[in-house]
Structure 1
Amino acid sequence: MTTTRDDILSFALGQLAPADEARVRAALEADPALMDDYHADLAALHALPDELPPQAVPAGAEERLMARLRREQAHARPNQVLPAAPPAPAAGPARHLNWRLMLMSVVAALTLGVLFLRPQPPQDLLSQYSAAPGAQVQPLTANGQDVGQLIRLPDGRAYVHLNVLAPENRVYQLWRIEDGKPVSAGVFDGQGIVIARAQAGQTVAVSVEPVGGSEQPTTTPILVKQL
């Protein structure tokens, strides 16, 4: 089943059923391009409040917001109760509230639901993949220096892990070398990336690129490896 952009957005908001969530998570792990879409949706979600100017507060908005937050929080952690809504303001001129604060509260509530309802991914992917049954761990070297590890997985995937994070305001970009030319296989701002189909004899490379990646490498690769 094809994973759509709507699926990815629903996954980011924690709105999928368990079976669909597992399907989308597997698709993200297998496809760096989909993972980039997922990160882009998260960034857009968090940036949304910044696009909205202050507006007049509709009647009853505060009470509705607090009620929604209590529902979201109760669904995420049934034993925790949010404070009661503040009392309604006295009659007088219409007050103004920055909708940015309200939207940030909703985003925070949704995030809590995602964190507490979705199984937490392992923080140490290197250990996770290294311990997988049938995994084969190989060192990655460049200019005689140990720069990371390559973990071959029995399902045909491979995990590339580098020893250090990318420089500030830069990302790592993985390339497949096809017919002597580099083809982007995704960017990663952490220390590792999954190669969905690690074919024997295939050559891959990693370079340091601007945030968002480049169409072609703009720096000398820090790693070139034949699988």
Structure 2
Amino acid sequence: MTQQCDRVLDYYNQHLNDIEKAAFEKHLSECADCQEMLSDLRSLEDALPFAAEPVEPPSGMEERIFAHIETQDSSRPAESTPMRPSKKKRQWMMPSVAALLAISLFGNAYLFTQLSDNADIVEQATIDQVLQYAELAPTEGDASGTASIIDQGEEKRLVVQASNLSALSAEEVYQVWLLQDGQPERAGTFVIDNEGRGSVIFSMNEEFAERDWDTVAVTLEPDANSELPEGDIILASEL
């Protein structure tokens, strides 16, 4: 048995990454022990009751099974070279394989159930509601965009998406501003891709969330350090 032989169950459950999988498959092509073990696992899979509801394995089940397997392993004489299991040897190996497969399937079913439950909780906790929405109008050119203020439970976020923006140079960035009675506050900075598209998601703290914003604007700034607008307004809209 080699270190690769210990990975047969992980390979069967598809728990190996691409590099580990490739290394094990190379080993598998040359290892009769692993080939037979994998064949046994796949044969037993068809006989197990998949229709039952997933349940958590009884406490201590895994430890008792592995203790039994180790006891059987320790009773065998040491072998200087790997040997192909005989038919008789494979007969007593089958319960061990079945036990390993049962643990594996129980574990996978329990994990799947937990992940499904958690996914339901996350989905219920992150239902978004659009509080304000505006289509951004360009001051010139073909730029376009949208701005939304979204309620996510206890948090509010400003989401701005823009397209057909002019390419940036040097340290230039696009800066988003929220305005109330003509007074601007920074609300995110972004750059664009090769197609002139960019977006920003700005988390609004309690102070921002309570203010009555009336305008959103996007400006072209010389760098990301502008505390007040210095460049030209590219897109803007009332909220």
The normalised TM-score by structure 2 is 0.34
Larger-Rg structure? 2
The normalised TM-score by structure 1 is 0.36
